[in-house]
Amino acid sequence: MSAVSVTLSSRTIDSHDAPGCTGWTSLADLGPGNSGVIVDLCDSADPATARRLFDLGFAPGTSIEVLRRAPMADPVVYRVAGYEIALRRAQARCIQVSITV
């Protein structure tokens, strides 16, 4: 089994592993300027979607920052793994983050 498959099978990290983090929330609930650490990919996402998010850098333990929202609030631009990517809010709801202070 590949390292990616092992990481995807767990899909979560202990929130205590991320220094300076407080409560969990959905990535879709964070506003522009907020940041956090990804702690979980929801189990309800189909495996192909979870794998694609993981390949794009949305892996447990990764820092993420909300940059801006489109005028109608969808999609939202995030900075993850050193680059910017836009996700729909429905996709962002499948990613749980621990908010950093």
How many domains in the chain?
1
- The CATH number of the domain holding residue 89 is 2.30.30.90
Most confident of 22-26, 38-42, 76-80, 96-100: 76-80
Looking at residue 20, its amino acid is G
Per residue in 18-43, pLDDT tens?
A: 455 556 888 999 989 999 999 988 77
| Confidence grade of residue 49 (pLDDT, cut at 50, 70, 90) | confident
Q: Quick one: pLDDT at residue 8?
A: 52
Determine the residue type at 70. A
Neighbours of 80 (CB within 10 A): 20
Q: Are strands 21-26 and 35-41 parallel, antiparallel or unpaired?
A: unpaired
Structural domain of residue 44, as residue ranges? Answer: 3-100
52-69 per-position pLDDT tens digit: 888 888 888 899 999 999
Kindly report the CA angle at 98 between 18 and 8, in degrees rounded to 5? 80
C-alpha span between 32 and 44 (Å, rounded): 26
